[in-house]
Amino acid sequence: MHRQSETKKIAVISMVRNDDFFTPKWIDYYSSQFGSENLYLVLDGMDQPLPAGHDKINIIREVHKPMARLKGDMYRARLVSDIAKGLFDTYDIVIASDIDEFLVCDPASGKTLAAYLSQPFNRSSLSALGLDVGQHPDHDQEIDFSKPFLQQRSYAHVSARYTKANVALSPVRWGSGYHRVKGKNFFIDPNLFLFHFGMVDYNHCKNKISDAELNQRGWTKHFNRRFGLFEIIRRKQAIPGDRFFAKARKRQNLFRPFFSLNKPGMLREKPVIEIPERFKDIV
């Protein structure tokens, strides 16, 4: 079993319901980064089956509370913030994300994710540049779970929706979806990336969009908007990622939404980048 050799103790937490697609990948990836004993998975519902590998991680069961999408997002953020606050009794850093989001340290830094985060930071949280990875409708095959995702997907939409304040360096109150920390500014770290894989496989997305429970809770409009990623990737000329990353961080920091100045600004041209080769074997 991998164990942290760095100074700081780092925990990772997520909350999940009705998923057996991303959960195994989430457990495998973050176990490899921080050790399985430092993972905390909240199962949303007493009816939820235990995932494979559950005996190596920490499972927290919560009674499911049916809610509309936006209200549910706020509830999950409050719950995870409260759990994370307790974890700070033991840990130096808590990473919170959705089950389909994977925090990655740029291999060009020469550091593991744990070693990078163990450096001193004079901040309450860190944000990673958000990369919304999608299947290219014309070129990519169905995802093969025996191989890393990034060996099979080459393109991502650079999206402020996924430039999230996931890394808490002290107790914080996350807003819904971990998009912001309440009462705090954000800082987009130059070496951290958040790969969002929600649209990594078209067939999986088609199955999810037909989920009656989610549609009853108001997810239909969200699903329809998210499906636009496939067309964005198809029609946009991809930019080499390393030519755009610094510019994306600068623009997301400068052009913030006037209604929420502690959230990064959207890039209106919906840029698509080609994921650099050095990331291919990580997730």
Burial of 32 (0-12, 13-18, 19+ CB in 10 A): middle
Q: Quick one: pLDDT at residue 86?
A: 97
Q: What is the mean pLDDT of residues 145-172?
A: 96
Q: What is the mean pLDDT of residues 210-214?
A: 61
Q: What is the mean pLDDT of residues 169-188?
A: 94
Give domain limits for the chain. Answer: 10-279
> Residue 208: pLDDT above 80?
no
266: number of Cβ within 10 Å: 17
Q: Is 273 helix (H, G, I), strand (E, B) or coil?
A: strand
Q: What is the mean pLDDT of residues 4-10?
A: 73
Q: Residue 184: which of 205, 163, 168, 201 has the closest Cα?
A: 168
Task: Pick 20 or 94 by higher pLDDT.
Answer: 94
Q: Is 102 helix (H, G, I), strand (E, B) or coil?
A: strand
* Cβ proximity of 29 and 14 under 8 Å: no
Q: Quick one: pLDDT at residue 215?
A: 53
Residues sharing a CB contact under 8 Å with residue 254, sequence separation 6 or more, in sequence order = 265
Q: What is the DSSP letter of 91?
A: -
> Residue 197: pLDDT above 80?
yes
Torsion of CA 263, 201, 212, 68, to 10 degrees: -10
Task: Pick 15 or 257 by higher pLDDT.
Answer: 15
φ, ψ (nearest 5 deg) of residue 199: -115, 30
Burial of 131 (0-12, 13-18, 19+ CB in 10 A): buried
Question: Tokens representing 138?
Answer: 């014309």
> Residue 88: pLDDT above 60?
yes
Beta bridge partners of 42: 15, 60
Q: What is the mean pLDDT of the chain?
A: 91
Q: What is the mean pLDDT of residues 38-66?
A: 94
CA distance 259 to 28: 38
Q: Which amino acid is at 76?
A: R
> Residue 8: pLDDT above 60?
yes
Q: Taking the model in full, what pTM does it have?
A: 0.92
Angle at 148 between CA 162 and CA 29, to 5 degrees: 65
> Residue 109: pLDDT above 60?
yes
Q: What is the DSSP letter of 111?
A: S
Sign of CA dihedral 30, 31, 34, 39: positive
Contacts 24+ apart (CB under 8 A), 136-142: 136/233, 136/234, 137/202, 137/230, 137/231, 137/233, 137/234, 138/234, 142/201, 142/202, 142/203
pLDDT tens digits, 35-44: 999 999 999 9
Angle at 257 between CA 73 and CA 240, to 5 degrees: 90
Out of 185-194, 203-212, 248-257, pick the least confident: 203-212
Q: In the structure, what pLDDT confidence band is assigned to residue 193 with cuts at 50, 70 and 90?
A: very high
Q: What is the mean pLDDT of residues 108-115?
A: 97
Q: What is the mean pLDDT of residues 37-54?
A: 94
Q: Quick one: pLDDT at residue 174?
A: 96
Q: In the structure, what pLDDT confidence band is assigned to residue 70 with cuts at 50, 70 and 90?
A: confident
Q: Which residue has the tokens 């009794």?
A: 89
Please report, for residues 81, 138, 205, 221, the alpha-carbon distance to residue 69 in angstroms, rounded to integers and kept in the order given: 18, 32, 17, 10
* Cβ proximity of 194 and 164 under 8 Å: yes
